[in-house]
Structure 1
Amino acid sequence: MAGAWNSSSDASLQIRPFDRIIRVNGISGSSRDLAQILLEKHDQFSIAFMRPEERMVDLAKSTDLGILVKYKRGSLGFWIDNITDGEVQKWNTEYPDAAVSPHDRVVAVNGDSGSGAELLSNMRNKEILQFKVMHYPAA
């Protein structure tokens, strides 16, 4: 479905990796609810997407990063589940226009992309971290 749309649409309207579905046929809901609507038989769908903003976040791992992360096997990167006291919260205070939030997705660390497990493993012995983050504004 996305391939057919992209091949016939202007580049600015094409569906991109990390775009998030926020409404289907005018209905908002959880990802599970929206997936259920997409599985139903319809002649036509109206789908609204949220496009993330790419942010680069530079952190010195002198103390705890202060993030709880989650990932799914086979997915690119990991997402931030919660932010507590630590380097990420300091970044957010110092750079509010480049702040990261829960539900943002980290897709690369120090220029390397990979699965969530790979990124977390590669972070263990690094003192300087640069996250490439897909930031989703509040809906």
Structure 2
Amino acid sequence: SCCCVAGENKSDEVTIKKTPFGIQDEDGGATTMLTENALQPEEPADEPIGFKEVLTEGDSRSVMKKIEEEPEVSEPPEPTKVVVESPFEFVVNVRKDGAKLGFAVETLFADYCVARRVEPSSPLKNVKPYDRLVKVNGASAKASQLAKMVTESDQLELMFQRPAMKEIVLEKAGKKAGFRIEKTTPGAATMGLVIKGLEGGAASEMPSGTFKSMDRICAINGQEGTAGELLEMLAQDRVVLTLCSYSDVPE
């Protein structure tokens, strides 16, 4: 669901107010944007065939023989280290003056109105993909209603929740990953894989609280992708998950 498309920025007031968020033991989240046309991992280029000079048995003549090399087993790339932060809330005040916000959200899940895209011309420059819109002009509502309120009001006070982000190494050792993933409409632009719960497997053997309902797997081994592409990458035996996690919204 898209609140609007990018347009000329006529707003003359944009203020940011960051407020501490006091929920304990909640972290996770990512601020990178998922696109349907995410880049695929490049296939490694074929290495040139090598040769070495050897002496033949009983002869001083040297000949060139092909070097037969064992193929290298590729390992998942080491991810860029991410600073783990607790989720926090911040407020953006903006007056549209009839202009478009250039701001799109995902409203597939009732309690999660999640930013999908912020255009460069948008006055919401401090908002990033995966930020969660939690209140509009002080009012809480379901995701679709929040999106509607943004389009209908000219003077806006928008409260967002910035999720935390953590990277988790999952060693499956031949077991299944063990995630129950929320099903979405085929072709829907879901932001990552949304975890519904655990059902045994490697994930359930991780320390308690590592994964919780509505956490999102937004990248695997540093690669983003569609839900289908992420599921394919999850089949690898060792994966580094970039996990996006939100906290409960205060009243």
Aligned length in residues: 126
In the other structure, the counterpart of 2:179 is: 67
- How well do the aligned residues superpose, as a CA RMSD in angstroms? 2.0
In the other structure, the counterpart of 1:132 is: 242
In the other structure, the counterpart of 1:4 is: 123
Look up the equivalent residue of 1:128 and give its one-letter code.
R
Superposed counterparts of 1:20-35, under 5 Å:
20-35=132-147
Confirm or deny that 1:87 pairs with 2:202: yes
Partners of 1:112 and 1:31 lie apart in 2 by 28
Aligned-pair distance for 1:39? Answer: 3.0
Deviations 1:61-90 (A, max 9, x none): 233322111356344421112233332232
Task: Report the TM-score, using the length of structure 1 for normalisation.
Answer: 0.78
Deviations 1:33-57 (A, max 9, x none): 21222232x2311111010111111
| DSSP 3-state at the match of 2:123 | helix
Q: Select 2:162's aligned residue among 33, 40, 51.
A: 51
| DSSP 3-state at the match of 2:211 | coil
Instruction: Please tell me whether the aligned partners of residues 179 and 199 of structure 2 are also in contact (alpha carbons under 8 angstroms).
Output: yes
- Which ranges in structure 1 are unaligned for 5 or more consecutive residues? 7-13
Look up the equivalent residue of 1:84 and give its one-letter code.
E
Superposed counterparts of 1:87-126, under 5 Å:
87-93=202-208, 96=209, 99-124=210-235, 126=236
Instruction: Please tell me whether the aligned partners of residues 76 and 113 of structure 1 are also in contact (alpha carbons under 8 angstroms).
Output: no
Instruction: Please tell me whether the aligned partners of residues 76 and 114 of structure 1 are also in contact (alpha carbons under 8 angstroms).
Output: no
* Higher RCO by CA contacts (8 Å cutoff, separation 6 or greater): 2
Partners of 1:83 and 1:26 lie apart in 2 by 35
In the other structure, the counterpart of 1:9 is: none
Task: Report the TM-score, using the length of structure 2 for normalisation.
Answer: 0.46
